[in-house]
Amino acid sequence: MNTAKPTYLEALAQRVLVYDGAMGTSIDTFTLTAEDYGGERTNGNRDYLVLTRPDVIEQIHASFMEAGADVLETNTFQSTRLRLEEWGLADQTHALNLAAARLARTVADRFEAQDGRPRYVAGSLGPTGKLPSSDDPALSDITFDELSEIFREQAVALIEGGVDVLLVETSVDILEVKAALDGIRRAKQETGSSVAVQAQIFLDLAGRMLLGTEIPAVIATLEAMPCDVIGLNCSTGPEHMRTAIQSLCAHSRKPISCIPNAGLPLEVEGETVYPMEPEPFARILGEFVREYGVAVVGGCCGSRPAHIRRLREVVGYDTLPKAREIEYIPSVSSGIKAMAIQQPGTLTMIGERVNTLGSRKVKKLLLNDDYDGVLEVAREQVDSGSHMLDVCVAMTERPDEGEQMTTLLKKLTMNVELPLVIDTTEADVLKAALETYPGRAVVNSVSLEGGRGDKFDRTMPLIARYGAATVAMTIDEEGMTHSAERKLTVAKRMAQLAWDEYGVPAEALIFDVLTFPITTGQEELRRAAVETLEGIRLVKQEIPGCFTTLGVSNLSFGVAPHARAALNSVFLKHAVDAGLDTAIINPAHVTPYAEIPAEQRELCEDLIFARREDALARFIAYFEQNAAASENDKTDPTAEMTVAQRLHWKIVHRKHEGVEADIDILMTDGLRLNGHDFADPTTADKDPETQASPRGIVAVEMLNNVLLPAMKEVGDLFSSAPVS
């Protein structure tokens, strides 16, 4: 092997790389017997052919090299221990992957020696068949660590066999992709290898992964993981990948790959057929290179040497992809959607109510294991305008914080599309939560309280390993920071340590410069708000790329709710002006600055900026004399609705309280309108013409006229929701 040649990533910076075509459908062109596959027990296991019929695999590799491919994929798509167990071949996991890598290496090196053009080998790591982020008990019954170990084992063998890049491909669950990349990271550490890493996902026709993950969420998640190239493969033909490819090229900082099928598969006389011919296949991929900047192209299922030959002709041998103008948006993500950490034109609000330390209601619900009740609170936070949700389950009354956290996270990730902020002080709970969470989470929080050996060095390795962002509180060995200068000093120290020792960039740090109550009358806290605002300005100026946050309600501790709401809202406006990006707050309690009466604004600002000695006294006196309406005085949006309209509204807004009662009322009213007593046993008598009972007739009418239209509206809202 020529060690002086460019590495895979160096070559990628110089020209477009062309991958080979389909291995599986190429194998199907050979007439192979059970004996060729090693016997009846392993008959049909294509990967096993690298040991039983390596000549067949070598011939396929050579056909794609002759067609002009730069990169050969190893025949190991289903060669994790988990998949090989299905064939009784688990004990040959290492040997099979090693042999496959060496075989592809031999062919690639032979062609490289003939003309001097560098050839590369990609070690293929396909999905295990598990869906760890789903709620299917049979498919999710595997841990992150187990998946990581499965991929580590395969990656080690492929590295030992001489691959240039490890290719995680055809992935359908983003959590499994994270586990695979973690396993590869460990394999590289174990072997001392600097092999490149490429991750490719599978999309449906709607442009989502199997469990609903959208492209912006893929970008947010994989940009934070140890991955050099990201892209798409398999799925559909290239014609259906255009929108996703445009998004990847526009917003990801990584080189982009696209290795599609030769069209959407069709069933013809019991056979799967890939109908796209080489010319349109190559033309569309050529457009992706020239118009969007795709750097890696090739063929997946159904693509023959003819497809790769025509693709090589279209792309050429020394073509650079179009230079991309990338608008990278630092984001976090759920298993479905991405959310920019900094919302354009507004504040990113982190809902604070799904928290046992801040909500007696949530604490009571979790003490009773009422996760559906907590889900309702989460949905209320979503409806109130939250962009993320802070989740804390810590309670002195229960010892099972880890179990409760993972149970609640699974419930929330399956039912709420917003990214979550994992709020815990326990490292073991945090690890379990991050291994459960499919997207890119925020960790709340890290600090230098107690020094390096305490929270910082327990938490930062987890943030780095799982690709999370984190709230970083400006606290160190000396305690909480009060002056703006101290806030900046501690923030800069944490940012430097995070990058130098853990490789965590500034864009993953959301600094909480701390705010303290200015409503207690303590002289030493009189200028606390001013110092906080200046601290925000300094941190944003001195630590490029970082973000800021605050627990805003700390400012107003001890005064009446309506006074707190006004003070918090006014302070929030000034904090945003100073550079605040996010706030942990209940969005329902925020009033737009312009809607706060001028007199209230002045009183609040006198207190915030410490403009008067009597600012606190005047503030308290005013709000004592001008009591605000209580929460109970809010108008019920269903007050003027009929029962049917009310039921429709509750379904659309996911409010389960009173739904069953409304259904009973509609059933009763419907029966009485038809001359039947709801409680009368004769209600069960069938209509002589339709043979349907009156109760059944009313139920069908209610289903058709109320329930189904409401459910359709929910579906329409979901499908038309804009990509964040």
CA distance 689 to 208: 48
Neighbours of 667 (CB within 10 A): 17
What type of residue is 101? A
Helices and strands, counts by H and E, the chain: 26, 22
| Neighbour count for residue 407 (Cβ, 10 Å) | 16
598-607 residue pLDDT tens = 999 999 999 9
Instruction: Say what the pLDDT of residue 270 is.
Output: 82
Which residues touch 243 (CB under 8 Å, ≥6 apart)? Answer: 207
| Rounded distance between C-alpha atoms, residue 166 and residue 178, angstroms | 14
Q: What is the pTM of this model?
A: 0.85
How far apart, in whole angstroms, are the C-alpha atoms of residue 74 and residue 24?
Answer: 12
Q: Distances from the Cα of 64 to the Cαs of 58, 119, 123, 162, 306, in angstroms?
A: 10, 12, 16, 19, 9
Q: From its phi and psi, is residue 21 left (phi > 0), alpha (psi between -120 and 50) or beta? A: beta
Q: Could you report the per-residue pLDDT of 564-590, keeping only the tens digit for each?
A: 999 999 999 999 999 999 998 888 788
Letter string b/e over residues 264-301, b meaning 16 or more CB atoms within 10 A of that residue's CB: beeeeeeeeebebebebbbebbbebbeebbbbbbbbbb
Residue ranges of the chain whose pLDDT lies below 50: 1-2, 629-633, 676-685, 687-690, 717-724
Give all domains of the chain, ordered by start, each with its CATH number.
8-315 (3.20.20.330), 340-632 (3.20.20.20), 643-719 (no CATH)
The reported pLDDT for the residue numbered 716 is 53
**3-state SS record for 635-690:** CCCCCCCCHHHHHHHHHHCCCCCCHHHHHHHHHHHHHHHCCCCCCCHHHHCCCCCC
Question: What pLDDT, on the 0 to 100 scale, is given for residue 629?
Answer: 42
What per-residue confidence (pLDDT) applies to 723? 34
DSSP3 helix / strand / coil % (the chain, rounded to 5): 50, 15, 40
Give the three-state DSSP class for 403.
Answer: helix
Which residues neighbour 568 within 8 Å (Cβ) at sequence distance 6 or greater?
A: 552, 553, 555, 556, 585, 589, 590
28-67 pLDDT per residue, tens: 999 999 999 999 999 999 999 999 999 999 999 999 999 9
pLDDT for residue 710: 78
* Spatial distance between the Cα atoms of 703 and 360, rounded to a whole number of angstroms: 37
Q: Report in angstroms the alpha-carbon separations of 672 from 243, 691, 694, 695, 698.
A: 54, 19, 10, 10, 10
Q: Cis link prior to 445 (omega < 30° from 0)?
A: yes
Query: Residues 253, 374: contact at Cβ < 8 Å?
Result: no
Please give the Cα distance from 230 to 180 (Å, whole number). Answer: 14
Distance (Å, rounded) from C-alpha 404 to C-alpha 401? Answer: 5
Three-class DSSP category at 114: helix
